[in-house]
Amino acid sequence: MMWAEFEKIAGYEVSYEDYTNVIEPMYNATSLSKAEFVKTLNRKAFDLKYKKQEMVKAMKAIAAERKENAEHFTNYEAENKLRDLAEKYAETFHRFSTPEIARKQTFQTFGCSYPAELIIYGGLVNGRYYEIERIALA
């Protein structure tokens, strides 16, 4: 059973680490069907504390605030929170990946920028990092 397949059958998200280190070995050690095995698990033990949509929504809220106020002031606290959320998102949903926050310039004032996209990169393929996911933030 694959990670995405497990999440589809279970109806909730689990971390890649929990799936590969705990759930998959447990499943391989039983002779239960996939659906029966999922029913035997304690959801509270594996269900993610932070959901994918909730994390994206939080990152978009920070980016929208930064876009609106980029020309007036720099909010380093919000920028750091966004970077921390992006790193947590990449770690939780894309193991061994690197998050990058792409920025766009504002049109009114030269030099002001805001976080526009979150790009998650995987490992090297033919000397280039490949893109796993791209999320429009603002």
DSSP notation for 61-117: HHHHHHHHHTTT---HHHHHHHHHHHHHHHHHHSTT-EEEEEEEE-SSSTT-EEEEE
- Can you tell me the distance from the alpha carbon of 77 to that of 13, in angstroms, rounded to the nearest whole number? 29
Mean pLDDT of 96-122: 84
Q: How confident is the model at residue 22 (pLDDT cuts 50, 70, 90)?
A: very high
3 state SS of 20: helix
Residue 110 is predicted with a pLDDT of: 64
> Is the per-residue pLDDT at 24 higher than 70?
yes
- The pLDDT tens digits of the residues spanning 43-85 come to 888 887 778 888 999 999 999 999 888 888 888 899 999 999 9
Mean pLDDT of 122-138: 87
Angle, helices 52-69/76-93, rounded to nearest 10 degrees: 150
Whole-number mean pLDDT of the chain? 87
- Can you tell me the distance from the alpha carbon of 71 to that of 53, in angstroms, rounded to the nearest whole number? 29
- Can you tell me the distance from the alpha carbon of 19 to that of 46, in angstroms, rounded to the nearest whole number? 9
Mean pLDDT of 102-130: 83
**CB 114 within 8 Å of CB 124:** no
**Residue at 16: amino acid letter:** Y
Distance of CA 42 to the CA centre of its chain: 23
**CB 119 within 8 Å of CB 134:** yes
**CB 123 within 8 Å of CB 51:** no
Domain definitions of the chain by residue range:
3-46, 52-136
> Is the per-residue pLDDT at 105 higher than 80?
yes
